[in-house]
């Protein structure tokens, strides 16, 4: 059986897909129909806990939450039109997810969240990194040097194996003079449901900094972070966090970056019927 947060996820997706209000009493009935006979008597308690979970998410996310919930009903609101929260839910449950959605689109949301949280400017450095603006790896690294002049010119002209250095986003909080000390954070994004718990540091930060004339230490504060579109339990956050590493789960990402692109919303729309087929428990 799914946990209460997982049932809440399914309720959210199906409320979005139906585009209409859903009550705790309706959830109780649906749970009674879905639960095994020995669990049916717990349907009312499960429904109460699910709505408590939904209310907690609404409190944490405020206007970034694409639902309105009064404790007994949940309904989509205007945020549904460009919601990063719905995008993260889709990455949890749907199967037809392109590489572009897992990389460029999700990392764009994480980039915006990192800029908000760290109060800096960010560059997406993960593969695939070519865009209409950036055609060579050196050009990409030069954008990092622009944010961190201490690094000096890049000395790496080609991406390792055509990919990246194991990092997806770099965000920098500079003073107005552009000189040290500054806060630098390298971020790793993981969207695979089964493998994200293994991620967090595919490569040491030193590998990426070796692509430049000089490393940013010791005059700057260098951090790392991991970003996933899933909910992290307290235990999972403890496994990923540390003195120099911060964990961003779905709630923390969407708290700081509530919007997703039209490309994402078009994909979500194509998955609407599949949301209705998800098992509640």
Q: Which residues pair with 68 in a beta bridge?
A: 75
One domain for residues 37 and 109: no
One domain for residues 220 and 112: yes
One domain for residues 74 and 158: no
Grade residue 121 by pLDDT with cuts at 50, 70 and 90.
very high
CATH number of the domain encompassing residue 145:
3.40.1350
Tell me, what's the pLDDT at 237? 85
pLDDT at 112 over 80: yes
pLDDT digits 0-9 by tens, 192-249: 765 655 555 556 888 899 999 999 988 899 999 999 999 998 888 888 778 889 999 9
One domain for residues 54 and 106: no
- What's the burial of 144, exposed, middle or buried (CB within 10 Å: 0-12/13-18/19+)? buried
Q: Do the strands 121-124 and 169-173 form a parallel or antiparallel pair, or are they unpaired?
A: antiparallel
Q: Are 86 and 268 in contact (CB under 8 A)?
A: yes
One domain for residues 69 and 128: no
**Is residue 243 assigned to a domain?**
yes
**Is residue 213 assigned to a domain?**
yes
Q: Are 79 and 26 in contact (CB under 8 A)?
A: no
Tell me, what's the pLDDT at 212? 96
**Is residue 91 assigned to a domain?**
no
Tell me, what's the pLDDT at 194? 55
Grade residue 8 by pLDDT with cuts at 50, 70 and 90.
very high
Q: Which domain holds residue 135?
A: 96-258
**Is residue 281 assigned to a domain?**
no
One domain for residues 190 and 127: yes
pLDDT at 80 over 90: yes
Separation CA 203–CA 181 (nearest Å): 24
One domain for residues 148 and 12: no
Tell me, what's the pLDDT at 193? 61
Tell me, what's the pLDDT at 214? 94
pLDDT digits 0-9 by tens, 36-79: 988 899 999 999 999 999 999 999 999 999 999 999 999 999 99
One domain for residues 36 and 115: no
One domain for residues 225 and 170: yes
pLDDT digits 0-9 by tens, 139-186: 999 999 999 999 999 999 888 876 778 899 999 999 999 999 999 999
Tell me, what's the pLDDT at 160? 80
One domain for residues 109 and 27: no
Mean pLDDT of all residues in 251-276: 97
Separation CA 104–CA 22 (nearest Å): 34
Tell me, what's the pLDDT at 11? 98
Tell me, what's the pLDDT at 202? 55
One domain for residues 126 and 234: yes
**Is residue 116 assigned to a domain?**
yes
Mean pLDDT of all residues in 8-25: 98
Q: Are 64 and 53 in contact (CB under 8 A)?
A: no
One domain for residues 108 and 227: yes
Q: Please count the structural domains in the chain.
A: 2
Least confident of 17-26, 94-103, 158-167, 244-253: 158-167
**Is residue 136 assigned to a domain?**
yes
**Is residue 231 assigned to a domain?**
yes
When computed from its CA atoms, the radius of gyration of the chain, rounded to whole angstroms, is: 21
Q: Quick one: CA torsion of 175, 178, 183, 189, rounded to 10 degrees?
A: 120
**Is residue 218 assigned to a domain?**
yes
DSSP string for 103-146: IIIHHHHHHHHHHHHHTSEEEE-SSS---SS--SHHHHHHHHHH
Angle in degrees, CA 129, 131, 133, rounded to 5: 125
Separation CA 247–CA 51 (nearest Å): 25
Tell me, what's the pLDDT at 217? 82
């Amino acid at each position: 059986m799914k946990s209460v947060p997982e049932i809440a996820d399914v309720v959210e997706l199906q409320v979005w897909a139906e585009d209409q209000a859903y009550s705790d009493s309706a959830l109780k009935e649906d749970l009674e129909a879905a639960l095994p006979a020995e669990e049916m008597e717990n349907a009312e308690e499960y429904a109460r806990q699910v709505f408590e979970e939904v209310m907690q998410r609404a409190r944490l996310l405020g206007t970034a939450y694409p639902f309105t919930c009064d404790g007994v009903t949940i309904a989509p609101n205007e945020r549904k039109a460009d919601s990063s929260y719905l995008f993260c839910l889709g990455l949890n449950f749907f199967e037809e997810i392109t590489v572009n959605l897992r990389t460029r689109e999700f990392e764009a949301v994480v980039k915006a969240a990192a800029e908000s949280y760290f109060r800096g400017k960010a560059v997406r450095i993960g593969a695939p990194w070519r865009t209409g603006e950036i055609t060579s790896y050196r050009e990409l690294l030069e954008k990092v040097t622009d944010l961190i002049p201490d690094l000096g010119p890049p000395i790496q002209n080609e991406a390792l194996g055509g990919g990246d250095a194991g990092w997806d986003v770099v965000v920098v909080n500079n003073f107005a003079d552009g000189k040290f000390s500054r806060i630098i954070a390298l971020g790793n994004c993981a969207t695979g449901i089964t493998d994200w718990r293994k991620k967090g540091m595919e490569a040491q930060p030193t590998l990426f900094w070796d692509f430049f004339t000089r490393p940013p230490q010791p005059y700057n504060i260098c951090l790392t972070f991991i970003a996933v579109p899933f909910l992290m339990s307290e235990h999972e956050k403890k496994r990923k966090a540390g003195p120099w590493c911060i964990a961003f789960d779905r709630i923390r990402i969407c708290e700081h970056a509530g919007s997703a692109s039209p490309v994402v919303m078009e994909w979500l729309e194509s998955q609407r019927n599949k949301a209705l087929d998800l098992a509640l428990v």
